[in-house]
Amino acid sequence: MFSTQRARLDDLRAQIARIERGPVAAPGQTVSMGSAEIDAALPNGGLTLGALHEIAGAGPDTEHGAAAALLTAGILARLTGPVLWTMEHADLFAPGLAAAGLHPDRIVFAAAGKEVLATMEEGLRHTGLAAVVGEIAGRFSLIASRRLQLAAEQTGVLAIALRRSRQFDDPALMEPTAAMTRWRVAALPSPPALAHAPSVPGLGPARWRLTLTRCRGGEPGTWITEACDATGRVHLVFDAADGSAAATQRVRA
């Protein structure tokens, strides 16, 4: 009897450990963040498919929300298959997503009003989708995020919660969720068009600060990158002040 109880306890402990560790991606079950250096910092070498991930601007939508949406588009550009993109209002600029590699022909847009979470959960039940994106304003409860995480695990579909906010340091963005990774994207000033001639008029490539605030099984970090190119990839900013090719140091959070 004792051996049976011990076996049951061991099995229960193993189940709890798997839940805490999260889904373990097999080869081919991740998608790149668009940078080998950033992928190397993630436990499975990229964003795990069949899981929930969260991306938010590092301030009001008017300043940083577009950068968060473009980063999301760049990630999805490296997947194949249709994408369900659900939002409260139909205010998404599709040609902007195409500039980051995600063609509008691949996207099924759903203006769901207050039913964004329900629409996301329903979409995650369909294995024919490559990913489901939901634009979420306001609170995103732990229970709601767990439902999305479980739905994504069952089908292997990538789930991205694109958080939207009209205020800086929105407390709703600080609340815990079940997302495997949580990212904050800040739009930074563009450098001069010519690094060796800063007085020459013109703007260089847009820059972002990508901050990994939480990573299940990994560590937080911050990177300065150029914005997504036409293939959805981002490139770390190099220190050209002294002509060296040393990439910007990763900052431990």
Say how many Å lie between the first and final Cα of the chain, rounded. Answer: 49
Does residue 205 fall inside a structural domain?
no
Residues 6+ apart with CB under 8 A from 90: 109, 111
Q: pLDDT of 26-66, one tens digit each? A: 444 899 998 889 999 998 899 999 999 999 988 766 678 88
Cα gap 140→165, rounded to integer Å: 12
Please count the CA atoms within 13 angstroms of the CA of 61 that sit on its side-chain side.
Answer: 12
Q: Which domain holds residue 82?
A: 28-185
Name the band, by pLDDT with cuts 50, 70 and 90, for residue 92.
confident
Domain of residue 125, CATH code: 3.40.50.300
Q: pLDDT of 127-173, one tens digit each? A: 889 999 999 988 899 999 999 999 999 999 999 999 987 666 677 77
Longest pairwise C-alpha distance within the chain = 82
Cα gap 110→129, rounded to integer Å: 14
Task: List the one residue out of 184, 238, 189 whose CA is nearest residue 71.
Answer: 184
Does residue 139 fall inside a structural domain?
yes
Q: For residues 51 and 149, is the Cβ–Cβ distance under 8 A? A: yes
Does residue 226 fall inside a structural domain?
no
Residue 48 tokens read as: 């795990």
Does residue 174 fall inside a structural domain?
yes
Does residue 85 fall inside a structural domain?
yes
Q: What 3-state DSSP class applies to 106? A: helix
Task: List the one residue out of 77, 66, 82, 67 whose CA is nearest residue 131.
Answer: 82
In this structure, which amino acid lies at residue 16? I
Q: pLDDT of 203-224, one tens digit each? A: 778 899 999 999 988 889 999 9
- Number of domains the chain contains: 1
In this prediction the pTM is 0.80
Cα gap 153→124, rounded to integer Å: 9
